[in-house]
Amino acid sequence: MLDPFGRTITYLRVSMTDRCDFRCVYCMAEDMTFLPKRDLLTLEELDRLCSAFVAKGVRKLRLTGGEPLVRRDVMKLVRSLGRHLRSGALDELTLTTNGSQLARFAPELADTGVKRVNVSLDTLDPDRFAAITRWGKLDQVLGGIQAAQDAGLKIKINTVALRAINEAEIETIMTWAHGRGIDFTLIETMPMGDIDQDRTDQYLPLSVVRSRLAQRFTLDESDYRTGGPARYVTVRETGGRLGFITPLTHNFCESCNRVRLTCTGTLYMCLGQDDAADLRAPLRESSDDGLLHAAIDEAISRKPKGHDFIIDRRHQKPAVARHMSLTGG
Ligand code: SAM
Ligand code: SF4
């Protein structure tokens, strides 16, 4: 799959559900309206869709959400998609999770061929954790991370840099992660969906975080890439990797290799644009995949050049109305 700007699409992110057991302040309003359950694709339909993308050249699948591990019977899908790893059609099957259910699922995930999971963790302070996630418990997530490591899964921690909230703690989280052999990536807040707070207050440019860290640590440039938008350095003192995802201060679109599928079968060709393609209709119209393949080709031919994220006082509306939890972060 080649888009109009010559980028090969090899990476599909799939939102399993828009629901979540947390209500992170930068991601959701406390009182969210979720999709009616009947609008969700079944796990069999999601399998068929993912497999169509694999047949068309996708080499990496990431399950996300909402919280992917709160979707009922999600492990059935993971287990079934594992066949593409064994056949060699897929290089990687992975997940982005808040970690709340990891203690329960880690051994089974490892058993199906999952090698790495990204866990989102914005603080190591239990009270702050409760304040950021509104509903989450830090202990449960730390237990999940431990269980995942015990099961042999490689972990990457993703932390959203939040001004005045976890700003002073970033160094602590980094050294904690690196001390456990865990890669650590920082993310800037992106203006997606209405939340209860002002995003301008949350936004902390990673250029600022980086120069602060550079005063205390030696950050060696690294050409390590995971195929994603993160740019990495190696921290000489800890020996660990530190990644930066900077959609706002640095445009990461030139090398974009991904598209995103929601749990209702809508394909978003860009995280930061509204244009989308409906794949549910061609999926349901015929049990043959011909229509579906044609719809995927048509969608890829419309992949835009990049996003238009801006966060400042003059732009109080989110750049896109949908929440990250619908499209899958
Ligand atoms: N629930 C899972 C989790 O938290 O990892 C998966 C879905 S979550 C939407 C994926 C990632 O998006 C998380 O790392 C989260 O911190 C991040 N995220 C959510 N809303 C965001 C926003 N407005 N700006 C930047 N990152 C955001
Ligand atoms: Fe849930 Fe993940 Fe959004 Fe937090 S960031 S509310 S854990 S979907």
DSSP 8-state code for residue 69: G
- State in Å: Cα 50 to ligand 2 middle: 23
Sign of the C-alpha dihedral computed for residues 71, 101, 229 and 130 taken in this order:
positive
- State in Å: Cα 159 to ligand 2 middle: 12
How far apart CA 116 and CA 135 sit, in angstroms, is 25
Q: Is the CB of 22 under 6 A from ligand 2?
A: yes
Question: Going by CA atoms, what residue is nearest to atom 23 of ligand 1?
Answer: 190
Q: Which helix (H) or strand (E) holds 130?
A: helix 126-133
Residue-wise pLDDT for 94-143, tens only, equals 999 999 999 999 999 999 999 999 999 999 999 999 999 999 999 999 99
Atom of ligand 2 nearest to the CA of 136: 7
Residues 6 or more apart from 314 whose CB is under 8 A from it?
none
What ligand has the least distance to the C-alpha of 95? 1
**Contact by Cβ (8 Å): 205, 195:** no
* Structural domains of the chain, ranges and CATH numbers in brackets: 11-327 (3.20.20.70)
If one residue of 16, 18, 63, 98 were mutated to test the ligand 2 pocket, choosing by the most ligand atoms within 8 A of its CB, it would be 98
Residue scoring higher pLDDT (121 or 249): 121
Please tell me whether the overall predicted TM-score, pTM, comes out greater than 0.75 for this model: yes
Report the percentage of the chain scoring pLDDT > 90. 77
Residue-wise pLDDT for 283-327, tens only, equals 999 999 999 999 999 999 999 888 766 655 555 566 666 677 676
- State in Å: Cα 27 to ligand 2 middle: 6
The pLDDT of residue 315: 58
